[in-house]
Amino acid sequence: MGRLLATAILCVALPAAADTITGTVVDGNHGTPVANTEVAFFVSENGQVTEIVRKNTDAEGRFSFSGPFLTPDLTFVLVALYQGVPYSSSELRADGQTEIILEVFEPSNDAGDLHIPSHAIIIGDSGHTIEVSHFVQIDNRGVQTFVGTGSGTDRRVAEFALPAGLFNLSGSLSTAGGGRFFDNQPLPPGLTQISFTFQLDPGDLDDGYLHRAVYGTEVLEFYVQPDVSGAGSFEDLGMTELHGVEYRHLRAVGLQVRQQVIVPLELPPEIGWTLKWVALAATFALGALTFAVGPAGGDGPPVGGAPSESAAAAGAQQYRMLLQRVADLDDGHAAASRDAGYLRQREALLCELVLLRRRDAG
């Protein structure tokens, strides 16, 4: 499974129900137990994630949670806090396992091992604003977690160069000025998915959409509606229909660090559609908890801010499942990242994500 939530999990012993949840925190590179590490227990209900309790691992790196809150149908997330960095499990069920292994890694502020296997950008014109959506896969090829600088929600980790004048930025990005933006989630060894959206004034795009690659990028793909006035330095793959919506599909491969490419856009006054969606619910419900783990002791604040309505919760769950499918697909094709079948499947999943957000936004 991919490191969508920045951890590897091994589950064994599958009973019908569990009255105790146990596990071990280990060094992700050596498999050795990590003692005296806080592990927080969060429950997920109606689209919200709330901390129930936390404990420290013992000398053998083990932890356990028990109590009347462990009902068979309970869904929960575990977060190991190691050297100031949280490592989250995926969303689990109490009746699904009793033994969990959480991997942690030594921290590093050296970005030299970061690389982008795949970066997809979807551009749409509502007639008044330009809607831009980024889906980024970052590969940390090192053996340590890249933590950047700062801490908590002010941490600066993965860097992105984005257009000046953007507004309504979603996700966990913050600006550092001069078109530099940073995501705040640490990047453990392996793959991490990052997504965000923003809007632009069409008047700010005289020559088209400029993309600057902060890291080496294997494949950069644009899905553009309206059409483009030319392919520029991109390979023009023509019109692609994904779930009834047509996009101009452009691709560039082998971008070097700081390389710039521009997509020349045709921006007529009105385009008869609107792309409305918000940022990943699990940068979103569960992803947001990565940096919402408060001081030890007591109940933590609710994480995420998703509505409590069952429809919203179901939408968030479907969105998380789609993201996990993207991560699993990417992992399964790590050695064949340009396989045509893989790329078609990935395109379809990305489109489903966009359409789901568009539907939920009403």
pLDDT digits 0-9 by tens, 240-251: 876 677 888 999
pLDDT of residue 316: 60
pLDDT of residue 90: 84
Is the pTM above the cut of 0.85?
no
Structure tokens at 244: 């009834």
Structure tokens at 196: 């965000």
Own/partner pairs for 352-357, CB < 8 Å, 24+ apart? Answer: 352/243, 352/322, 353/135, 353/319, 353/322, 353/323, 353/326, 354/122, 354/133, 354/275, 354/277, 355/243, 355/245, 356/277, 356/315, 356/318, 356/319, 356/322, 357/276, 357/277, 357/278, 357/319
Q: What type of residue sits at position 4?
A: L
- Which residue's structure tokens are 């553009």? 224
Q: Which CATH class is domain 111-285+306-360?
A: mainly beta
pLDDT digits 0-9 by tens, 102-131: 999 999 999 999 999 999 999 887 767 888
Please compute, for residue 293, the number of CA atoms within 13 A of its CA located in the half-sphere on the CB side. 26
State the first-to-last Cα distance of the chain, in angstroms, to the nearest integer: 32
Q: What percent of the chain lies above the pLDDT cut of 90?
A: 41
pLDDT digits 0-9 by tens, 261-280: 999 887 654 433 333 333 33
For residue 288, pLDDT over 80 is answered with no
Please compute, for residue 200, the number of CA atoms within 13 A of its CA located in the half-sphere on the CB side. 21
Average pLDDT, the chain: 77
pLDDT of residue 287: 41
3 pLDDT band, cuts 50/70/90, is very low
198 pLDDT band, cuts 50/70/90, is very high
Q: What percent of the chain lies above the pLDDT cut of 70?
A: 68
Architecture in CATH of 9-107: Sandwich (2.60)
Nearest-angstrom CA–CA distance, 346 and 53: 38
Whether 237 contacts 343, CB under 8 Å = no
9-107 and 111-285+306-360 have identical folds: yes
Nearest-angstrom CA–CA distance, 348 and 351: 5
pLDDT digits 0-9 by tens, 123-155: 887 767 888 999 999 999 999 999 999 887 788
For residue 101, pLDDT over 90 is answered with yes
Show me where the domains of the chain are located: 9-107, 111-285+306-360
